[in-house]
Amino acid sequence: MSEQRIVSFLPAATEMVCALGLSDALVGISHECDYPPDVRSKPVVVRPAIRFDGLSQREIDEAVALRIRGGMSLYEVDEIRLAELAPDLILTQDLCQVCAPSGNEITKAVKFLPGEPRVLCLTPKSLEGIFENLREVGRATDRLRYAEALIARSRERLDRLAAATRRAARPRVFCMEWLDPVYCSGHWVPEMVELAGGADSLALKGSDSVRIPWEDVRRWAPEVLILMPCGYPLDKVVELTSQASANPGWGELPAVLDGRVYAVDANSYFARPGPRVVEGTELLAHLIHPELAPWTGPANAFIRTAGRAL
């Protein structure tokens, strides 16, 4: 067991630490860290500053925007618990204010610690950026060799997938990262779609996902529609599908007419820039080209919605 004491403010970083065989060194996590399952017993040092229970997606979007405009944090760090845990490495991010504490919150929390832990900020905007973050975590924890091996295996899987779909027709895909209001996909997800053999002209590769007019989706006329609201597990996505189907012209979309609308476990395979984005890419390939890419992962990773009856 490593002598290092690691606190992770970010679910993706927690998954990286565990993938490198360092779960015993992980002494504190955020409220959202839930994979692998045994990390749920770790002390929680980060919680949301506002409660989202019972709010619709539009209400959540408005509440988040209001706090960000007001310069307020979306998270609270338990500074007393953090000091008790005395970490010498803190893993966080500086990519998205909605995903985990960043910037001022980290500076304030670290100021009250007895020592001076290293703070490693992970800011990936692409698949290569995710691999580089894994390499950084490996370097910071003396597990670089393990990290490089995991990266090599991940690339091999993605290369096989790309080869399998390279000559296939590329159907129009739309990955909806928020349902109300509608957000396109961003950062690493557009790359995942390309590797999986699809085309999503509404996506923003390497950039933040943004609100887009529903009319843009209607004009794009996706043949495969993936509902992946950021941070939601499959059961919650299924509960929210009626918000997507309420949009005008929903029943006219080719994906709806052909029964190719899917709800997916966004939390596990798409929203978190960690090792499981490889499985997420394989899942997309299965949904886009089921004849070329079988899905051998968990059965609860996705579900086909009811199309017109959604």
**pLDDT tens across 209-249, in order?**
999 999 999 999 999 999 999 889 999 999 989 889 999 99
**176 and 246 fall within a common domain:** yes
Q: How many CA atoms lie within 13 A of 21 on its CB side?
A: 10
Task: Give the contacts of 152 (CB within 8 A, at least 6 positions apart).
Answer: none
Task: Flag whether 47 is in a domain.
Answer: yes
pLDDT at 116 (0 to 100): 83
Q: Is residue 268 a contact partner of residue 301, using CB atoms and an 8 Å limit?
A: yes
DSSP-assigned beta bridge partners for residue 263: 227, 303
DSSP-assigned beta bridge partners for residue 205: 187
Task: Flag whether 162 is in a domain.
Answer: no
Q: Select from 70, 65, 137, 73 the least CA-distant residue to 100.
A: 73
Residue found under tokens 């966004």: 266
127-143 pLDDT, tens digit per residue, is 999 999 999 999 999 99
Instruction: Give how many domains the chain has, as a whole number.
Output: 2
Confidence of residue 310 (pLDDT cuts 50, 70, 90): very low
- Chain center to CA of 51: 20
**194 and 64 fall within a common domain:** no
**202 and 239 fall within a common domain:** yes
**10 and 139 fall within a common domain:** yes
CATH number of 185's domain: 3.40.50.1980
Is pLDDT at 186 greater than 50 in this prediction?
yes
Q: Which of 114-118, 230-234, 297-301 has the highest mean pLDDT?
A: 297-301
Is pLDDT at 102 greater than 80 in this prediction?
no
pLDDT at 100 (0 to 100): 47
**51 and 118 fall within a common domain:** yes
pLDDT at 185 (0 to 100): 97
Q: Is residue 15 a contact partner of residue 31, using CB atoms and an 8 Å limit?
A: no
Is pLDDT at 2 greater than 70 in this prediction?
no
Task: Give the contacts of 243 (CB within 8 A, at least 6 positions apart).
Answer: 56, 57, 179, 180
Confidence of residue 309 (pLDDT cuts 50, 70, 90): very low
Q: The pTM is what?
A: 0.90
pLDDT at 101 (0 to 100): 54
Is pLDDT at 51 greater than 60 in this prediction?
yes
Measuring CA to CA, how many Å separate 221 from each of 254, 257, 271, 290? Answer: 6, 11, 24, 20
pLDDT at 262 (0 to 100): 97
- The residue range of the domain holding 198 is 170-304
**122 and 179 fall within a common domain:** no
**76 and 32 fall within a common domain:** yes
pLDDT at 67 (0 to 100): 64
Task: Flag whether 38 is in a domain.
Answer: yes
